[in-house]
Amino acid sequence: MMQLHILGCHSASPSPTAHPTAQVLTIRNHQFLIDCGEGTQVRLRLNKIKFTRIKHIFISHLHGDHFYGLIGFISTQCLLQRETELHIYGPKAIKEIILLQLKLANTYTSYPLYFHELSSDEPEVIFEDEQVIVSTIPLVHRVYTNGFLFQEKLGERKLNIEVAQQYPIDPVYYNSIKQGKDIKLDDGRVIDNKKLTFPPDKPLAYAFCSDTAFQPEMATQIAKVDLLYHESTFLEEHEDLCEVTKHSTAKQAGIIAQKANAGRLILGHYSSRYKKLERFQQEAREVFENVELAISGKVFEVG
């Protein structure tokens, strides 16, 4: 199962009811923090998400509503006597910004802090282990910006225990069977793996796209994602502002989801000029049916 926890989903300045962008994605035993707007650590506490489980933070760009909470999060880890390493992925200069703040505050981390600075205009893999792979999604904004594509790797096959027990197979071989290997019995018979197992679950994928001007070509990279978060700063009536600010409308987000054949679309990064968020959902549904609204504290699950 994949779980997306919305901590904040509004643009520009925070308010008591509108929190800037921050999300926690739980996927294959990882908890990834995506963007870290002002107040993120407070939202983490309110939503009872453990700081220590977060080992990787992905920052899309260096506008304040997406990373001004980062220095606070990093500093608090020292107060909590963190020892586990923390990795930060973000645009070039993020290391300089954070280290300068720590230096001038005469603060030092009690744990290893690693920066992975990004500058490529092409998609690139920035994190990979046995279970998950994370790639950048180049976006078009007023400053260098990336979205992030999180993809599960194909898991093990599932053991059909009822069938396996019909053969004289020592349970010690069950792990190798789940890994796709055929089994040779003592009498020389070879049991095809597909007779002993079920196919693995379909790998899940999540695409985070904020902030960006309308960019239809991104649909190719994020094709068939199960969950897509795409910014929708404006409604169609203010589409003229998109060119100046390099943002998107709700309808344009719907077009991206339709072109990508996404499973579900989540809208967010709303401009404060709008009081009724339902209008965003209505507009996107003109072109893509399965649309939901990001709301601080809301949890989306897949699988």
**Cα separation values, 158 from 178, 276, 303, Å:** 6, 46, 16
Q: How many CB atoms are closer than 10 A to CB 203?
A: 17
- From the candidates 35, 65, 211, 226, which is the catalytic residue? 65
If residue 24 lies in a helix (H) or strand (E), which one and from where to where? strand 22-27
Question: 135 has which bridge partners?
Answer: 125, 149
Is 65 one of the annotated active-site residues of the chain?
Answer: yes
Helix, strand, coil % in the chain, rounded to nearest 5: 25, 30, 45
- Active site (catalytic) residues: 65
